[in-house]
Amino acid sequence: MLPPSASDLELLGATRLCDTEESVVKRWQDLRYQRIPWGGGAQLERLQQSGQPGHDRFYFFDDEQHLVGAVFRYNRGLSLKPYPVLRETLSELIPSSTFYIDPTKLLSQEDARSAVLYRTGDYTSTTQYLVLETDGDPTLLVASLAIDPYEQLLSSYRENFLPGLNRSGSATPGEPSLDSETGDDFLGRQQFARGEAALFGSCGTAQPAIAVEAYRQSIQHGLKDEGRLAEAHHRLGLALLDQGQLADAQRELEQALSLRPNAPAIISNLGRVLAERQQQARAIELFQRALILRPNFAEARFHLANSLEQSDTRRAIEEYETYLALAEGIPREAERIRFVLERVKELKGE
């Protein structure tokens, strides 16, 4: 179930995430902006001006010049009194983090000390609101929206968007610093996000060729977090599988497994590759191993059943039926459920 997200505060106007840079700029008649590099992409800055009073805007584009996120900084704070729909939405959301603010660097209100970060969104994008909680008049400091893979790179509470911000103890533990946009780790995380957006079709259509290129660049730049590095090899393996490059896919998934040997998703996806390479015995072993680690793993259960069809029809039917029980009510499994229902009938000779 998605969180409440209704808002009467329009952020992007006629522009939409995934629009091309050219189409975005065409709408900016008589508005000044600056284009600067942003890793492998570009950042367009529209600072406060007569046609845009009271706030600064930052638009971020990927290597293919598609809009992947935007940040809106309200220099004196934006009162939310005129926006009852957004106020109602925020009242229904659970705060993600709380922050302390130095008011001398931000607002003229000397008693302003803390702000709350709210997150909401839909299936493909996330919107953040950083709100100063004052009595009876909540004030918006920063808002941002991004397609999901880029959310962490465009967080509302980064130092360059909001000077004088200090995290409280309620901020998410272990979250990496997001202030630096230079260095290999940032470039690696940015390319990882680009790979995710391409692999899962964040802008409408999956693009496995771009995903392969992006994940490879991510690995080449280097990722400080070993878990993210493992996931980059994992995702690269999936993108290569989508392109039918089975040997390369197997190599990447084996590399991912060496970094995270007990990750059920990696184990199961390596099994998928081996099944495609007609190594059914090894594939079955991997699916079983994934299910030992996560017994309710519906996708692994499906692939195990599929691999068992030729060697053990009765057990294949049992595994398919277990899959159906696990997958019931999961929207993304609907197509696979239809296939399994027909396949079970065929295997039973009905």
Summarised one tens digit per residue, pLDDT across range 216-232 is 999 999 898 999 999 99
Summarised one tens digit per residue, pLDDT across range 283-330 is 999 999 999 999 999 999 999 999 999 999 999 999 999 999 999 999
Span 183-261: which CATH code? Answer: 1.25.40
Contact 42, 35 (CB under 8 A): yes
- Report d(CA 267, CA 247) in Å as an integer: 16
The reported pTM is 0.87
Q: In the chain, which segments carry CATH 1.25.40?
A: 183-261
DSSP per-residue string spanning 246-257:
HHHHHHHHHHHH
pLDDT of residue 156: 57
pLDDT of residue 115: 84
DSSP per-residue string spanning 95-154:
P-EEEEE-GGGT-S-TT--EEEEEEEE-SSEEEEEEEE--TT--EEEEEEEEEGGGTGGG
